[in-house]
Amino acid sequence: MDIYKLIEWVVKIGIVFLIFMHALAYIVLLERRLLGFIQMRLGPNRVGPFGLLQPLADGIKFFFKEEIIPRDADRTLYIIAPVVALVPALTTIAVIPFGDTVNLFGRQIELSITRVDISMLVILALTSMGVYGIVLAGWSSNNKYSLMGGLRSSAQMISYELSLSLAIVGVVIFSGSLDLVQIAKEQMGTWGGIIPKWNIFTQPIGFTLFLISVIAETNRVPFDLPEAETELVAGFHTEYSSMKFAIFFIAEYANMVTASAMATLLFLGGWHGPYVEKFPLLGPVYFTMKILFFLVLYIWLRGTLPRFRYDQLMKFGWKFMIPVALANVVLVAALALFLY
């Protein structure tokens, strides 16, 4: 194998991993500060300038906390569970493209760790593995609140995965590809020089469905039933402490980033923006900005909306989301048939 290719891969994985992990830590800070702003308080602002060293302090604190494993817990599964939650959450970043091919150091470098022609499906496959972490944690803790959290989570994930996939089908029909790079490239250019050719304008229903389902898939407010603290103490991670709890936390935020990246690539044109054809290195900048938009939206929702009741959640998923998503697929397929 080409030795330069190998070096390129290692460097790309290293850079992406470092940025990703740091970003996760700072999203938590962003969330706490923004929530503070929404709730008219300050939020953490004592560690470092503007509280910028807070993530570091949090990390150190997590490492030094006492680790407790309940006596009647299933030890093996209890320890494996956080790993099962984290690994798929971090692996998905490998197939996400954050820019076009650029010319660096005399080499053509693709701005993604790896490119597969079915990257969309790879992400879906990996994210569907993430639920097992939560389910295992809930079951192995031997605690009824944890078990309820795990059960709710698995039911919720199956229900909303359907509408999520159906919303994606619409985009796939329009782009004719399961490759995220190809899907993003299809959204290049503008209509009349003003409106960008993003899928959000051609498929507003699909976008809305996708956004709602993806928030449910990542267990965030208003769909954070698996850890509803007013009724389940802390849900599936009630018994977890120290770094094991932190791993669940990281996994949740990694899933949020993946979901935002997917929304960006599928509906907001990925890395496309003004002048990106001339300067391909602008791509990752636009991409990050769009992801940030979705992350702020997540936090904004958390500060604004109350939680669903469990039966409302199920009814909404099965009796509203899935029928609308099916109708959307039929509509998009018909449009695609007549337009192309």
Which residues lie near another protein (CB under 8 A)?
A: 77, 116-118, 121-122, 124-126, 128-129, 131-132, 135-136, 138-139, 147, 150-151, 154-155, 157-158, 161, 178
E strand or H helix at 196: strand 195-196
- Cα–Cα nearest to 217, from 259, 180, 178, 247: 259
CB of 120 or CB of 295, closer to another protein: 120
CB of 17 or CB of 132, closer to another protein: 132
E strand or H helix at 323: helix 322-339
Instruction: Kindly state the smallest distance separating residue 173's Cβ from another protein, in Å.
Output: 12
Instruction: Kindly state the smallest distance separating residue 136's Cβ from another protein, in Å.
Output: 8
Asked whether 197 and 188 are in contact (CB, 8 A), the reply is: yes
CB of 124 or CB of 292, closer to another protein: 124
Token digits of residue 89? 């959450």
How would you write 91-155 as a 3-class SS string? HHHHHCCCCCCEEECCEEECCCCCCCCCHHHHHHHHHHHHHHHHHHHHHHCCCHHHHHHHHHHHH
Instruction: Kindly state the smallest distance separating residue 318's Cβ from another protein, in Å.
Output: 12
Instruction: Kindly state the smallest distance separating residue 138's Cβ from another protein, in Å.
Output: 7
- Rounded to the nearest 10 degrees, the angle between the axes of helix 119-140 and helix 242-267 is 150
Asked whether 241 and 67 are in contact (CB, 8 A), the reply is: yes
Strand-pair partners of 190: 196
List Cβ neighbours of 26 (8 Å cut-off, separation of 6 or more).
55
CB of 201 or CB of 310, closer to another protein: 310
Instruction: Kindly state the smallest distance separating residue 181's Cβ from another protein, in Å.
Output: 15
CB of 62 or CB of 318, closer to another protein: 318
CB of 99 or CB of 150, closer to another protein: 150
Instruction: Kindly state the smallest distance separating residue 123's Cβ from another protein, in Å.
Output: 9
